[in-house]
Every structure is written in C-alpha cells, then in structure tokens.
Structure 1
Amino acid sequence: MPSVTRNPSKRRSARRAAVVAGLLEVVEELLDAGELYTDISVERLITAAGISRSTFYVYFEDKGALLLALAEDVVAKLVDTASAWWELPPDATRQDVEQALRQIMEVYRAHDSMWQALVDAAAYDPNVRASFHEIVGLASSQLARHIREGQKAGSVRPDLDPRRTADWLTWMTERGHHQLAAGATKAELTKLAKAQSAIVWYTLYEGAPSRS
C-alpha cells in the first residue's frame, strides 16, 4: 500500500510553483498595461496574487529574485522552441529555418513585456544581469554546437568560427526581438522572420559543401 505521506520538499516545490504561476499572471498583466517593473511594489503584487508578505519572502529575497523566478518559465519556453532551430537536420531547407525562427519569435512576442522587464533589471541588478548573460550564453553555446555539427555534415559553411558566429547571431536575435518583435502584429512577425531567416541562411548555410 503506497504511503499517503508526501515528501516535504516536493510539497514545498509545488507550493512555490503555484505562487510563481500566480505572480506571473499578475506581473504580466501589469506590464502589458504599460507599468514598469521597478514601479510595482511588493504590496501590490501580493495583494493581487492573494498571498501574504511572509509567504512572498519565504520564496523570494527581493523583487529581483522574483523576476528571475518568473523569467524561468519564459526562458524554458524559448529554449525549448529554439531547439527546433538548433536540431535542424543537415538537409533542412531555408523554409525550415524560417519556420523555426518564426516559432521562436512568436514565443518571445507572447512574453515580450516580461523580457523587457528582465533587460531593464539587468541594467541595475547584478544578479539579474549575470543570469541574463548566462541565458544568452546558453543559447549561443547551443547554436555553436549546431554550427560545428553542421560543418562536420557539410551543411554549414566550413570557413565560419562557430563560437564567434554563434555569439553574433544570438545577440543579434536577442536585440532584434527586443527592438523589432515586441508589440509586432502577426503580419509583421511573418515579415521579420523572413528577413531574419535570410540573414541566417546566407550566414550559415548558403554555399556549404552539401548545398553547392
């Protein structure tokens, strides 16, 4: 007969996840309404989320820690979606690349206010800044791996420096999303994805041995 006693650590993790989910909904609603994360008080957050101040500080040291916790879900979605690009097979077409980049852009667009808050906080909070650069670094390392594997398969240009090329493309993508995709309509996202796919295609794939 299975025990009815739940693991305390699992119970605490489940409770924290529920608190984060409730606060994420509150924060994104306020950000989408045009408020700045720095201007939103803890009191407003806990009142809207229906939790006590003591509960808030059990899980979060401050608003910076909360922001990082809220961003985890968005980052996880972006990384999961971006894997569609990083895992493209050697025979992937330009249309495949465009579709993968469009999917990444759509996930970003759905959470652009949260990403904006993360970028803003990175300017003054060293913990957020370190985490932000770690996130971008992770994406860049995955893209560099894709480039190296593509070079071995002959589907990516052999003359490229994988790490530096990945760094450029990753930061270009992050800045492009931040400056161009935020608030964009579906029609505009389609045009942006087509333009980005052209840049990526001619940078990485066009002229590769298997595509000549």
Structure 2
Amino acid sequence: MASTTRPRRKVRERREDVRNRVLSAATEMMADGTPYTELPVQRIAERADVARSTFYLHFPDKSRLLIALAEQAVEELFGEAVIWWRADHAGGQDGVAHAMRQMIAAYREHRRVLDALGEVAGYDPDVAAFWRDRKRRFDEVVRDRLDAERRAGTVDPAMDVPATAQVLIWMVERTIAGHCRHDEGPGDERIARTLARVIWLTVYGMPPSPPGVPREPAAP
C-alpha cells in the first residue's frame, strides 16, 4: 500500500510544483508591467521553465490560467468584508472602515490580476461566469445580513434588500478600483472612512420622520 501511495504523492507534488511555477511566472511578468492580455503562452511557459505542452496539461487555455490567478485575489478582496457582514456591528463605522482598508490593500496587492479579470470577463464567458459566481457569493452574504437586520427591526423596514446589496457591492468594488488606479496610497484612509460612512448610513440610517414625529434612528 505504501509503495503505491508514495508514487502517487510524488506525481501530485510534481503537478502542484508545475502549476505553482506557471502561476508565479505569470504573476511576475504582470508585475514587470506586461498586461495579462499581452502575455503569450510560450513566454509564460519559458519563464516557468516548462514545455508549452506541459502548460496546456494544467491550463487548457489562458482563461483557466486567469481564473486560477484570480481565485486568491478575489478571496482576499472580499474576505475581510465577509467577516464584517457576519460580525457583531456594535463597533459602528470603525469595523466597516477596517474592512474597507483591507479591501483596498488587497486590491493594491492583486491589482493587475483583478484589472485583467474585469477586462477579460467582458468578452470571455468562462471568466465572466467565474466573476459573476464570486460576486454572487458575496451578494448572498450581504443579503442574508440585511434580511436579518430587517427582521430584527434595526434597519428601515422599507429597505429593498436585493437592490441595496447590489448597489453597495458595485459601489465599493468600483470605487476601490477607480481609486487605486489614480492614487498611490495617500488617499486610502480617506476613501476607507468615506466608504464606511456611506455603507453604515445606507444600512442603519433611517428615513426622516413625518413632521412633528421625533426621529429615532435604528441602532444595530
């Protein structure tokens, strides 16, 4: 049994090594300034020190390579925000500001991959499906929390939960992407706190009361 398991483990390790080398090579080449769409498979394979045929054994096409690169990038982009949406919000805007800082940092670290993901998703159905699925998963987290808050009476009962979740996700993702393209870092804290305030007021702010009725804002 051991003699059978050991060769299988070695084969698996070799496959993982090749896969990691290809991913590292593509990442390094993009870090050098080459846009993902301009990376030829042959050059990626040469940088990874693998044969072109070996590349295709692991990645049938460049779309699958981009999806593999984007897996970690997207997880880190949404990870801290998911934690905040599922957490106790007793900390107020400070908690969401922390999540926004982490999202900005993740976007900066993986900017080239995330920019390529957004570009290629515009015309590649496989990449588009991957990106839609990851945003859908995040959307479900936001919707679940907003539904729970509405049932608890801590948000405006008239809130359109699906639309609110969609607007918040689009706003945050597009704002961070645009900010990171035009700001090298000095404005990160300002953007994080502004996003936090907008999110907090959108979720927990209440519409004005009718004239003569005291306004009692909801508190989570």
Same fold, TM-score > 0.5, yes or no: yes
Cα pair distance change 1:12/1:91, threshold 3 Å:
farther
Structure 1: runs of 5+ lacking an equivalent: none
Write the distance in 1 (CA, Å) between the matches of 2:203 and 2:59: 42
Mapped partners of 2:7, 2:119: distance in 1: 36
- 3-state DSSP of counterpart to 1:56: helix
Q: Deviations over 1:159-185 (max 9, x none)?
A: 312211111111112211221124643
In structure 2, what is the Cα distance between the partners aligned to 1:154 and 1:206? 12
1:19/1:175 CA distance change after superposition, 3 Å? farther
Q: 1:4, CA displacement in angstroms?
A: 5.5
Q: Which amino acid aligns with 1:203?
A: T
Question: Over aligned residue pairs, what C-alpha RMSD do you find?
Answer: 2.4
Partner in structure 1 of residue 129 of structure 2: 130
Q: How many angstroms does 1:13 deviate by?
A: 5.5
Report the alpha carbon displacement of residue 97 of structure 1 after superposing the two structures with TM: 1.1
User: Which secondary structure state, in structure 2, belongs to the residue aligned with residue 123 of structure 1?
Assistant: coil
State the TM-score, normalizing by the size of structure 1: 0.86
Alignment of 1:23-172 (within 5 A): 23-172=22-171
1:56-98 Cα distance to aligned partner (Å, 9 max, x none): 1111111111111111121222333222222221423111111
Moved more, 82-91 or 59-68: 82-91
Distance 1:41 1:76, change over 3 A: same
Read off the aligned partner of 2:159 and give its amino acid letter.
L
The structural deviation recorded for 1:106 is 1.0
| Counterpart residue identity of residue 21, structure 2 | G
Q: Deviations over 1:129-180 (max 9, x none)?
A: 1211222122111111121122334444333122111111111122112211
Deviations along 1:82-123, one digit per CA (max 9) or x if unpaired, are 222222214231111111111122111110110011111112
Larger Rg: 2
Q: Distance in 1 between matches of 2:16 and 2:122?
A: 27
Choose from 188, 197, 219 the match for 1:210. 219
Contact 1:90 1:153 in 2 (8 A): no
- Count, aligned residues: 210
Percent pairwise identity: 30
- Structure 2: segments with no counterpart, 5+ residues: 207-216
Distance 1:152 1:12 in 2: 53
2:123 counterpart SS class = coil
* Alpha-carbon separation, structure 2, partners of 1:171 and 1:54: 39
1:56 and 1:158, CA in 2 relative to 1: closer, same or farther beyond 3 A?
same
- Whether contact under 8 Å (1:181, 1:192) holds in the other structure is no
Contact kept? 1:20, 1:69, Cα under 8 Å: no
